[in-house]
Amino acid sequence: MQALGTIVIGTVQGDLHDIGKNIVATMMEGADFEVIDLGTDVAPESFVDAVRRHQPALVGLPALLTTTMPRMKATIEAFDTAGVRDKVQVMIGGAPLTEAFAREIGADIYAPDTSDDEVPTVAGRRVASSSDLAALPDPQLADGRTGVHLEAARVLVARAAFRSWAGSSARSRWRDACSG
């Protein structure tokens, strides 16, 4: 089966935590994406090299430590400097991150930590219900280049993020009901 597209993911420089990254990578592989996992403690220049080499539709920048959050901005700035920023969507996620921080650093997609009841956003649009998902444009999967159309990646990631969020909320409510 041919992959829907290519996604590059790695924890930002200074962050050695990889559980969240590995979960997202596994979810995306399960959704038929080719995932290029750069590992942990990845320098901005390594992300730029991976974008040039693999031409992904999406770059995932997870972080667990607040001290490494500035490295996300540095990575996005490195994409700008290298002239590849307009070729990828940047998704950030991790326990210390917020939607406001995603907007502040210029990320395209914010995926909240799955333990939160926070709502994912795609290009500044909150995706909290199936009607919100239905309002997003349908993906166009054939654009003649490696990977998927950027809008397709955005929609597919929004759907995956929503499923993850909705699933964690349901699990949280169930756990609370059972322990109460």
- Using DSSP, how many helices (H) and how many strands (E) does the chain show? 6, 7
End-to-end CA separation in angstroms for the chain: 46
Answer yes or no: is pLDDT of 149 > 90. Answer: no
User: In this predicted model, what pLDDT tens digit does every residue of 60-119 receive, in sequence order?
Assistant: 998 888 999 999 999 999 999 999 998 888 988 888 888 899 999 999 888 775 554 555
Compare 103 and 31 and report the one with higher pLDDT: 103
User: What CATH number is given to the structural domain containing 124?
Assistant: 3.40.50.280
Q: Mean of the per-residue pLDDT values for the chain?
A: 74
Q: Which domain holds residue 33?
A: 5-179
- What distance in Å separates the CA atoms of residue 2 and residue 15, rounded to the nearest whole number? 32
Number of domains into which the chain is organized? 1
pLDDT of amino acid 12 = 93
Spatial contact of 35 and 29, defined as CB atoms under 8 Å apart: yes
- What distance in Å separates the CA atoms of residue 18 and residue 16, rounded to the nearest whole number? 6
Strand 5-9 with 121-122, pairing? unpaired
When pLDDT is averaged across residues 55-61 and rounded to a whole number, the result is 90
Answer yes or no: is pLDDT of 175 > 60. Answer: no
**Rg over CA atoms, the chain:** 16
